[in-house]
């Protein structure tokens, strides 16, 4: 008998114009001890279907089904099924200690004393890969890192002793390395406890890494189902093929850039000095946050990507460049001239624009698209022009410009008079891009601009940024924790760890042959949409605290190749063939003195 057996499940929501069917007559099964996957883009009804299975949908939803059983019985949340959600921060109560949140689960499942519950909780936390559970139980959710919180959530789910765990996008909010750790944890838990798992995800790579059976969902229907091998190697439905193509990322049409742009970019490099350059900039907030002795430059017409896990200082670096933060030490140059912060702010009115991560929060809900774009134009122009009689003409020109910008970002001029709430996440991000580009900036800063979008939308926006960049030719600083995205859009990459740049160089070279141990980990941690290869993803050992030793290499504590000198000296900058790397493995000391024409190869 299957652990989960769902037959003909439909979910409807009443709307103004009749009932909207979010889930349309789907059936699926999960067998004992297996991890099944449900993939599809956001809005395909995956989460709604899962909540319906759990019986946790609101009263407005009308749920119909022929059968939902967990090992032949009706599903009871917290007893035979448990669920894990995407955002571990919001699904743990912020003002209740971890220990209490897990103990109450233990005690609601079976009657036992506080003491027994506490020791059982510790056991569960340890099982979920948390070291020092006693300490963690006395802490609040905000005191733990994202990866650790997701482990806590898993421990809570395990406390229910369920036959099935439904995991709804459990790793989407995590960066690649932590994701790899969590995925391995899931595998181990399923193997050790015999619990079955239903993994809901938009990420084909994650699905490939874990699942043995896959259901592809689209528009409320299950389009295709089968074993992982069937789905990934011989998909029959068009939609599945599309998902796989997006996930493999071969189709970015701008990939033809080699012929048209690589040459051009090289030309730029030869004659242009960098637009923006920072040298030895330090900005420290906390013992573990901020950036240290960072040098970076953006050249005109290039896309420079900064990658690294959260807290590695990417955003800080960008904020210093744009003048939103003041550096503690170091200098910033603009076209070769030194700029202090105040001047930077002034100069950058209109010349540097940002696209933010959250397309919902970064648009004012009370302004129509036209108003938002016009405001941006006005803000950029207000320094130059005092009000003139030509206001009306200006108005007409503004409108024209707005229409043109909307068309360029894949929206229509009619969209201008609508409000942000009328748009989907991807469309809102288009508006954000339009707002940034309408003032014709020299530099566009995209701070995790794609992170909150699902795969298909991300693909479209990625392509959009790429296309427009190639067309207009602004410089772009692209910040992301997603190596997969960065690899495809950027010309150059700066890999950051612990406030330092550990490696920079041309994207293609770095991705094909990462030199720094951290870069290597980062690239290997991304699961590919291929069950055989994804099963082999490596997870770096878990570190409870990413304590950074200020007197040595930042990465030394997590590095498998760390030598004695890594703990006591900060590696210098070793440059070979346009690549710079900050690692002792590439020092003279380690690899010997080299002549100038020596071809450096990866040392690991």
Partner 1 sequence: MLRYTWKRILTGILSLFVLVTVTFFLVRLIPGSPFRQGGVSEQVVETIEQEYGLNEPVLTQYFSYIGNVLRGDLGVSYQDPATRVTEIIARAWPVTASIGITALAVSVLLGTGLGILRAVTKRRFVRELISAGGMLAAGIPGFAAAILLLLVFSVKLKWLPASGLLSPAHYILPVTALSLYPAAMIARLVGNTLDSELQKDYVLFARAKGIGKWQIIFTHALKNAYLPVLNYIGPASASLLTGSFVIESIFTIPGLGREFVGSITNRDYTLILGLTVFMGAVVIIVNLLTDLLCAWLDPQTRRAYKKAGDSAK
Instruction: List interacting residues with partner 1 (CB under 8 A).
Output: 54, 56, 59, 76-79, 82-83, 85, 87, 90-96, 100, 104-105, 108-109, 140, 142-143, 153, 156-157, 159-160
Closest of 346, 342, 285 to residue 317, by C-alpha: 285
Phi, psi of 217, rounded to the nearest 5 degrees: -115, 140
Q: Which of residues 46 and 500 has its CB atom nearest to partner 1 in the complex?
A: 46
Q: Which of residues 4 and 501 has its CB atom nearest to partner 1 in the complex?
A: 4
Q: Which of residues 25 and 289 has its CB atom nearest to partner 1 in the complex?
A: 289
CA distance 169 to 88: 11
Q: Which of residues 157 and 443 has its CB atom nearest to partner 1 in the complex?
A: 157
DSSP string computed for 388-435? -TTHHHHHHHHHHHHHHHHHHTT--GGGGGS-GGGS-HHHHHHHHHHH
- Provide, rounded to whole angstroms, the least separation between the CB of residue 316 and partner 1: 21
- Provide, rounded to whole angstroms, the least separation between the CB of residue 165 and partner 1: 10
Q: Which of residues 117 and 278 has its CB atom nearest to partner 1 in the complex?
A: 117
Q: Go through the chain and tell me how many residues it has.
A: 604
Q: Which of residues 103 and 408 has its CB atom nearest to partner 1 in the complex?
A: 103
Strands 290-298 and 352-355: unpaired
- Provide, rounded to whole angstroms, the least separation between the CB of residue 499 and partner 1: 21
Structural tokens at position 412: 């229509």
- Provide, rounded to whole angstroms, the least separation between the CB of residue 195 and partner 1: 14
How far separated are the first and last CA of the chain, in Å rounded? 49
Calculate the alpha carbon distances from 249 to 242, 243, 418, 459, 505 in Å. Answer: 10, 10, 33, 8, 21
- Provide, rounded to whole angstroms, the least separation between the CB of residue 59 and partner 1: 7
- Provide, rounded to whole angstroms, the least separation between the CB of residue 89 and partner 1: 9
Q: Which of residues 153 and 197 has its CB atom nearest to partner 1 in the complex?
A: 153
- Provide, rounded to whole angstroms, the least separation between the CB of residue 160 and partner 1: 6
Task: Confirm if 546 and 498 have CB atoms less than 8 A apart.
Answer: yes
Closest of 488, 493, 448 to residue 467, by C-alpha: 488
Describe the crossing of helices 146-159 and 176-193 by its angle, rounded to 10 degrees. 20
Q: Which of residues 40 and 75 has its CB atom nearest to partner 1 in the complex?
A: 75
Q: Which of residues 336 and 365 has its CB atom nearest to partner 1 in the complex?
A: 365
- Provide, rounded to whole angstroms, the least separation between the CB of residue 51 and partner 1: 8
- Provide, rounded to whole angstroms, the least separation between the CB of residue 105 and partner 1: 5
Task: Confirm if 473 and 275 have CB atoms less than 8 A apart.
Answer: no
In 337-375, which positions are buried (b, 16+ CB within 10 angstroms) versus exposed (e)? eebeeeebeebbebbbbbbbbbbeebbeeeebbbebbbe
- Provide, rounded to whole angstroms, the least separation between the CB of residue 44 and partner 1: 20
C-alpha dihedral (376, 377, 378, 379), degrees to nearest 10: 50
Task: Confirm if 537 and 209 have CB atoms less than 8 A apart.
Answer: yes
- Provide, rounded to whole angstroms, the least separation between the CB of residue 25 and partner 1: 25
Q: Which positions ≥6 away from 267 have C-beta within 8 Å?
A: none
SS3 507: helix
- Provide, rounded to whole angstroms, the least separation between the CB of residue 53 and partner 1: 11
- Provide, rounded to whole angstroms, the least separation between the CB of residue 100 and partner 1: 8
In 431-451, which positions are buried (b, 16+ CB within 10 angstroms) versus exposed (e)? bbbbbbbbbebbbbbbbbbbb
Q: Which of residues 105 and 357 has its CB atom nearest to partner 1 in the complex?
A: 105
Q: Which of residues 20 and 96 has its CB atom nearest to partner 1 in the complex?
A: 96
Q: How many CB atoms lie within 10 A of CB 182?
A: 23
Q: Which of residues 85 and 574 has its CB atom nearest to partner 1 in the complex?
A: 85
Specify the DSSP element, H or E, that contains 297. strand 290-298
In 200-220, which positions are buried (b, 16+ CB within 10 angstroms) versus exposed (e)? bbbbbbbbbbbbebbbbbbeb
Q: Which of residues 105 and 480 has its CB atom nearest to partner 1 in the complex?
A: 105
Phi, psi of 20, rounded to the nearest 5 degrees: -100, 125
SS3 7: strand
Q: Which of residues 452 and 480 has its CB atom nearest to partner 1 in the complex?
A: 452
Describe the crossing of helices 369-381 and 391-408 by its angle, rounded to 10 degrees. 120
């Amino acid at each position: 008998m299957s652990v989960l057996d769902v037959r003909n499940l439909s979910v409807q929501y009443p709307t103004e114009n009749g009932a909207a069917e979010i889930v349309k007559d789907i059936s699926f099964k999960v067998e004992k001890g297996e991890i099944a996957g449900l993939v599809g883009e956001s809005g395909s009804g995956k989460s709604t279907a899962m909540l319906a299975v759990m019986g946790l949908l609101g009263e407005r939803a009308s749920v119909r089904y022929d059968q939902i059983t967990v090992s032949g019985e009706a599903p009871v949340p917290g007893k035979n099924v448990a669920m894990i959600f995407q955002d571990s921060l919001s699904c743990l109560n912020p003002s209740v200690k971890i220990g209490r949140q897990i103990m109450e689960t233990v005690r609601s499942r079976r009657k036992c004393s506080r003491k027994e519950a506490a020791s059982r909780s510790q056991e569960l936390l340890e099982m979920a890969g948390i070291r020092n559970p006693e300490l963690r139980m006395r802490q609040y959710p905000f005191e733990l890192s994202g990866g650790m919180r997701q482990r806590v959530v898993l421990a809570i789910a395990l406390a229910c002793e369920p036959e099935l765990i439904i995991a709804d996008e459990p790793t989407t909010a995590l960066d690649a390395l932590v994701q790899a750790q969590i995925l391995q944890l899931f595998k181990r838990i399923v193997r050790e406890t015999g619990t079955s798992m239903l993994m809901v995800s938009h990420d084909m790579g994650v699905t490939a890494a874990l699942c043995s059976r896959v259901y592809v969902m689209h528009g409320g229907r299950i389009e295709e189902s089968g074993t992982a091998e069937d789905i990934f190697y011989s998909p029959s439905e068009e939609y599945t093929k599309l998902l796989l193509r997006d996930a493999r990322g071969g189709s970015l049409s701008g990939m033809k850039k080699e012929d048209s742009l690589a040459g051009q970019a090289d030309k730029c490099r030869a004659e242009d000095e960098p637009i923006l350059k920072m040298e030895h900039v330090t900005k420290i907030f906390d013992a573990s946050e901020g950036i240290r002795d960072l040098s970076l430059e953006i050249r005109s017409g290039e896309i420079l990507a900064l990658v690294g896990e959260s807290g590695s200082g990417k955003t800080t670096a960008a904020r210093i460049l744009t003048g939103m933060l003041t550096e503690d030490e170091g200098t910033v140059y603009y076209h070769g001239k030194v700029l202090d912060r105040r001047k930077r702010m002034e100069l950058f009115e209109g010349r540097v624009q940002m696209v933010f991560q959250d397309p919902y929060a970064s648009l004012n809900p009370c302004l129509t698209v036209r108003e938002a774009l016009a405001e941006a134009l006005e803000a950029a122009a207000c320094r130059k022009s005092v009000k003139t009689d030509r206001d009306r003409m200006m108005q007409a020109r503004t409108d024209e410009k707005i229409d043109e910008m909307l068309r360029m970002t894949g929206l229509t001029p009619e969209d201008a008079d609508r409000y942000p709430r009328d748009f989907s996440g991807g469309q809102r991000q288009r508006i954000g891009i339009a707002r940034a580009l309408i003032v014709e900036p020299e530099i566009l800063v995209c701070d995790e601009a794609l992170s909150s979008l699902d795969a298909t939308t991300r693909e479209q926006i990625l392509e959009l940024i790429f296309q427009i960049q190639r067309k207009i030719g602004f410089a772009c600083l692209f910040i992301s924790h997603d190596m997969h995205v960065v690899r495809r859009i950027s010309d150059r990459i700066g890999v950051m760890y612990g406030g330092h740049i550990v490696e920079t160089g041309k994207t293609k070279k770095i991705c094909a042959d990462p030199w720094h141990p951290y870069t290597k980990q980062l690239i290997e941690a991304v699961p590919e949409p291929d069950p055989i290869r994804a099963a082999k993803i490596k997870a770096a050992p878990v570190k409870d605290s990413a304590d950074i030793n200020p007197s040595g290499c930042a990465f030394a504590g997590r590095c498998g190749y760390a030598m004695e000198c890594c703990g006591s000296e900060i590696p210098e900058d070793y440059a070979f063939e346009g690549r710079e790397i900050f690692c002792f493995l590439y020092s003279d000391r380690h690899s010997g003195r080299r002549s100038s024409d020596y071809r450096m190869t990866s040392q690991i």
